[in-house]
Chains A and B, each alone.
Chain A
Amino acid sequence: MQFLYKLLGIRKAGPDAEPPTPGRAVRPQSRLKVGWATDVGIVRSHNEDTALIITAAHDGDGALPAVGLFILADGMGGHQSGEIASSLAARAVAHHITREFYLPVLVSQEPDTDQPALKEVLVDAVRAANDMVAKRVPGGGTTLTCALMLDSRAYIAHVGDSRAYVVTAEGKLDQITHDHSLVDRLVELGQLTPDEAAVHPQKNVLYRAVGQGGELEVDTYMRTIADGERLLLCSDGLWGIVNEAEMAEIVMTSSSLQAACERLVVAANKAGGRDNITTILVEPPADKGA
């Protein structure tokens, strides 16, 4: 019950709302703080974005780290295949990671080689999603950016042009993922400026997406989210419309992660809301040593 309450508490109010406990100091809880929001935007008729979030906390003897799984997928394809693809992919990834990583960890504390490496779990999860989407949603596809958080460590798997950023303590956005888009490649080669890319007629062309079939190449990253930093996942409905300075400003000045996510959506809609908008913000647990 306590456990559930904690989980719900994170969602609803965020950490900032908790009053200080008088008397004996309470050891900081090892858990992740989360905010998220998704919105159809102004122009589109339906939301092809999917967000899927699982968090777990454990205290007691041999406590496990705080675990969070954050999945953001932005679907594409006609006849509703976009939203079907993104939802299916997110669920397939969550299923694979839970089964291959979290369930074994619950009963075995000593890591060994029987457990696949984390990177392999993530890559296999996205590949499983790729196979599933290719089979069940022909003509549909989706981006997929997935972060598995273990305390302050983020393990990220990524395909497409949804993004993962670190919001630094100084309020800068540090992009972790690389978009698998044609224009991003051209910017990398110095053939387009970011401003030209933003209005390029082919800015929406991806060269890699979940659902394309075949052996999917999946990018993986790992990052430590330091004290004062946050992890931000978002779809191009946010980053393609609201500039990074404004995004960072909103995150830094909001009263909670949840408030920040909602304000980000409002900002994107104010700027035209041309696409679906999804954001997820995560803050790692306070340093256990502190």
Chain B
Amino acid sequence: MNKLGTQHLEQAGVRSQETSEHEVEAPEESSVPVSADELGTRHIAPPAGAMRAESVPSQPQSRDSVEGRLPDGHMLQGRYRILGVLGFGGMSAVYKAQDMRFPKVVRLCVAKEMLNTATDPHVRAMIERNFEREANILATLSHPGIVQIYDYFSENHRSYLVEEYVNGKDLEVILAETEGFLTEAQVISWVVQVSEVLSYLHGHEPRPIIFRDIKPSNIMLDNHNRVRVVDFGIARLFQSGQKGTMIGTEGYSPPEQYRGVAEPRVDIYALGATMHHLLSKQDPRLEPPFSFHERPIHKTNPTVSHELSEVISRALEYDINKRYGSAEEMQRTLLSLSSARGMGGTTAFGASSVASGDVIALWRFACEDEVRSSPAVSEDILYVGAYDHNLYAISAKDGKFLWKYAAEGGIASSPCVHEGRVFVGSSDKLLYAISADTGRIIWTCPTQDKIWSSPRAAFGHVFFGSDDRHLYAANIHSGRVVWSFETEGEVRSSPAIGDEAIYVGSEGGVVYAIDTGGQARWRFRARRGVTSSPAITEDMAYVGCQDWFVYGLDIRSGWSVWRYRTGGPIVSSPSVAEGLVFIGSTDGHLYALDADNGRLVWRYETEGQVTSSPAVGAGAVYFGSVDGSVYSLDVKTGNLRWRFQTDGPVTSSPTVVDGLVYIGSTDRYVYALPA
């Protein structure tokens, strides 16, 4: 019996009796037996567009439940002649009618019919009495923004409200007919009028009237561009779900309405939801419930101002106490916005990315040429290579020079420190092992081509790649090559060391998992070179590729679990923290992706390519950009914490140790910045 997408549309929101504010109790629970089958039956929320065509969209569409719709020409109370159906639902129908009491003129009205389905005569009588009591209150309301109630009566198991006929369109229809977006000023002007109506209702004596069902389709715009609020939630009295009375529309109702709370701030939330819908063009009935905060308006409508978004966010607070306290307060705030005064939105999103406070380098150290290598810090000493062929050792605390060792070629490889030795590769084809204390050479290990790959040490071996298309494993004490693994293409990626294997990419476009004995465990073939160095976790290997994708690979099989396409080739290496994968792309962005499924969590745009590999520490992510800046962003939000400008593109990757960020720049300096 429960048809998908129809059944419960009108029953969002539960009100329990003790919280109802202006009418008597709903029928008693015990009077209506609920079958076990009904209890266990499932419904699904409305599918896309289910309600669009209806002029009374809060009502479901099942045609057979209102048996015997009134035919045209039918007379009600000997006074109202039915002219046609405007809309219908499970328990109600809305007719256009003519009031024959005024025979000389055509006086149109709307007759809203509600079916009383209760079988128990006492219950039926109670529903009828409740209806009349409420209708009586509504009929006394008088406000230019409220549809006038002319009459009410019950006949033939049905109750009727006769209302003023509004010649116009509701906001849902207007929104659907709008190409592009409604303007901010337009929406504010409507919402201000609705707030005025709500202020009137909420100020009703002796008890406030809660509208309960604010949404675009209940807001009419008459031919004079004036707002009329229609369809008070009186229909709830006739709904059969006897566990509390239900009203409201999924998507627009606040969470507390499902607990039975009915008070003025319920309407404020619904008005916020209405604004969100009008401006974002995202129908909340088609989105997960209570997901407004996950769908900021500017994501779909970049023209909306920051200040209006904030007003809407406050109206949509899940915690009722954080919302505007009254419709009047919200109205005042709306009127104070510059866009309400016809000045247009002031601060568009994205324009407000201003660094919070300038960052001053603790020290900087001048090398003789560009620093593309990333610093390594161990026991308060910073080691970094430069294009001037030198490996420098600098005091991490104050940037004082300790020693340098000159290789035969430039050093772009980043050093690695292990058991008192510094390992670094050079374009002179050699891997060097140098004493960390004295800077004296211990051994060199020759390869057939340049070394850009950064070495990693583990299991008594140092692993590194070379342009001679091999990954090498050398003994850390002797420098003797224990094995070499032939790859497709140069190995400029730096190996990542896992429990059982070494993971590395090659310019031939293959990611390899190689066991500690030098045998391939698996290969993953991408479409372009893999310069990026894999980041590994217990289950996954993450790597960027020049084919523009970031890949999440199963660490055991190499199968790709997910991939995410950026806007350009990737040479930056990912880092993983707090369930996120951070990686830069030559499209100029730093990306934060969900490590589990590759979904974009946030991205941050810089003014140059991001080839630097991000480092994470203390809730922040750090990286350099070819625009010359070093950036610090909040891990969770991607908001800028600070930005530090150097005098050359920053391709070096930062190292974060003890509250300091160390990074090199092509302006020849190594910087120490407060994290």
Contact = CB atoms under 8 A, between A and B. Distances in A.
Contacts of A271: none
Nearest to B597: A220
A77 interface: yes
7 contacts: A77-B3, A111-B524, A118-B554, A150-B556, A185-B288, A185-B289, A204-B41
Interface in B562-600: 562-563, 596-598
Secondary structure call for the A interface: loop
B496 to A, nearest CB: 18
A100 B17 CA distance: 55
B53 interface: no
B556 A206 contact: no
Contacts of A224: 538-539
Contacts of B3: 77-78, 139
Contact of B561 (A74, A118, A140, A274): A118
Contacts of B596: 220-222
Contact of A110 (B45, B256, B318, B523): B523
Contacts, number: 172
A74 B40 CA distance: 12
Nearest to A241: B40
Given A202-B14, A208-B288, 6 more contacts: A120-B563, A139-B4, A141-B44, A183-B258, A201-B11, A206-B44
Interface in B45-75: 45, 47-48
B483 interface: no
Contacts of A44: 37, 40
A200 interface: yes
Contacts of A208: 44-45, 288
A149 to B, nearest CB: 12
A161 B43 CA distance: 11
Interface in A214-233: 214, 220-222, 224
B547 A113 contact: yes
A168 interface: no
Query: Can you list the 3 inter-chain pairs with the closest CB atoms, starting with the nearest?
Result: A112-B525, A191-B255, A119-B562
Contacts of A112: 524-526
Interface of B: 1-5, 8, 11-12, 14, 36-37, 39-45, 47-48, 241, 243-244, 246, 250, 255-256, 258-259, 286, 288-290, 318, 522-527, 538-539, 547, 549, 551-554, 556-563, 596-598
A202 B11 contact: yes
A206 B259 CA distance: 18
Nearest to B539: A224
Interface string A81-116: 000000000000000000000000100001111011
A232 to B, nearest CB: 20
A286 to B, nearest CB: 15
A117 interface: yes
A176 to B, nearest CB: 11
Given A112-B526, A222-B596, A78 B1 contact: yes
B241 to A, nearest CB: 6
A118 B553 CA distance: 9
Most buried by A among B37, B539, B560: B560
Contacts of A57: none
Most buried by B among A206, A207, A224: A207
Most buried by A among B39, B43, B246: B43
A15 interface: no
A191 B258 contact: yes
A65 B286 CA distance: 40
Interface string A123-143: 000000000000000011100
Nearest to B14: A201
A283 interface: no
A4 to B, nearest CB: 25
Contact of A182 (B258, B526, B538): B258
A139 B50 CA distance: 12
A275 B559 contact: no
Given A43-B40, A202-B11, A205-B8, A191 B318 contact: yes
A264 interface: no
A65 B557 contact: yes
A219 B597 CA distance: 9
A189 B243 contact: no
A212 interface: yes
Nearest to A219: B597
A172 interface: no
A76 interface: yes
A76 B560 contact: no
A173 B491 CA distance: 45
Given A76-B2, A77-B3, A111-B522, A117 B258 contact: no
B525 A113 contact: yes
